Chain A
Amino acid sequence: GAGVSQTPSNKVTEKGKYVELRCDPISGHTALYWYRQSLGQGPEFLIYFQGTGAADDSGLPNDRFFAVRPEGSVSTLKIQRTERGDSAVYLCASSLLAGGLYTGELFFGEGSRLTVL
């Protein structure tokens, strides 16, 4: 596609429910990132994929959070037993290579706004 696409754009759920957020990166981009942005904060790193594998998942806050990228393209961020503190905008970004990052070529999607009631 022309840009990074994220769905849904908005998701409202109840505490304790399971949620999936999807990211469709720019075609051919091998590196994919998930960030979380709370109100008044900058984006916080969650996980980085290079191809199909999670090269760095050190930012995932706990084991309720999990992400996959089975074919090296689309990625899904999964959140189990959601809590009110999970409410935030979840941003996905992609780049051509990990090295592509050094030229500033990290393209962000519009984000998925998650609200946990």
Chain B
Amino acid sequence: EDKVVQSPLSLVVHEGDTVTLNCSYEVTNFRSLLWYKQEKKAPTFLFMLTSSGIEKKSGRLSSILDKKELSSILNITATQTGDSAIYLCAVVNDYKLSFGAGTTVTVRA
């Protein structure tokens, strides 16, 4: 059975801090790893990673995949209160996404 584990489960930071979220996985027929942000209901897409060692970057967010270690990290620098959300990691196995439980990030002003 595919397994995706995220850590920490939750964290609280102050505006301006940097956070690092972790995702590890065990999956057959790995195709890609995706990060989503979920603020209320619908998860919104952040990144897709397929190649090991290549960083994807979008503004203050960045992510990298380590296929050897079967893991990925998501970094958020200079956090803002609008970054408060659940961050979900998902692994694509053929056509299906398997999600981790998510990391709840709370950014305090």
A residues at B contact (CB < 8 Å): 4, 31, 33, 35, 40-45, 48, 50, 55-56, 89, 91, 98, 101-106, 108-111, 113
Which of the 9-residue segments B14-22, B39-47, B64-72, B74-82 touches chain A? Answer: B39-47
**Contacting residue for A102 out of B32, B40, B101, CB 8 A:** B32
How many cross-chain pairs have Cβ atoms below 8 Å apart between A and B? 64
**Contacting residue for B88 out of A43, A56, A101, A113, CB 8 A:** A43
Least Cβ–Cβ distance between A53 and chain B, in angstroms: 13
Whether A48 and B95, one on each chain, are in contact in the complex, defined by CB atoms closer than 8 angstroms, is: yes
**Contacting residue for B95 out of A55, A108, A110, CB 8 A:** A55
**Contacting residue for B41 out of A31, A42, A98, A110, CB 8 A:** A110
B31 / chain A contacts, CB cutoff of 8 Å: 102
Least Cβ–Cβ distance between B21 and chain A, in angstroms: 13
Whether A111 and B42, one on each chain, are in contact in the complex, defined by CB atoms closer than 8 angstroms, is: yes
> Is B105 in the interface zone, CB < 8 Å from A?
no
**Given A108-B42, A108-B43, residue A102 in contact with residue B88 (CB < 8 A):** no
Interface size on B, residues (CB 8 A): 26
Least Cβ–Cβ distance between A43 and chain B, in angstroms: 5
Whether A106 and B98, one on each chain, are in contact in the complex, defined by CB atoms closer than 8 angstroms, is: no
> Is B48 in the interface zone, CB < 8 Å from A?
yes
Residue picked from A41, A102, A109, most chain B C-beta under 10 Å: A102
**Given A55-B95, A108-B43, residue A42 in contact with residue B48 (CB < 8 A):** no
10 A-B residue pairings within 8 Å (CB atoms): A31-B95, A41-B102, A44-B99, A45-B97, A98-B95, A102-B32, A104-B32, A106-B34, A106-B45, A108-B43
B42 / chain A contacts, CB cutoff of 8 Å: 4, 91, 108-111
B87-104 contacts to A, CB under 8 A, are 88, 90, 92, 94-102
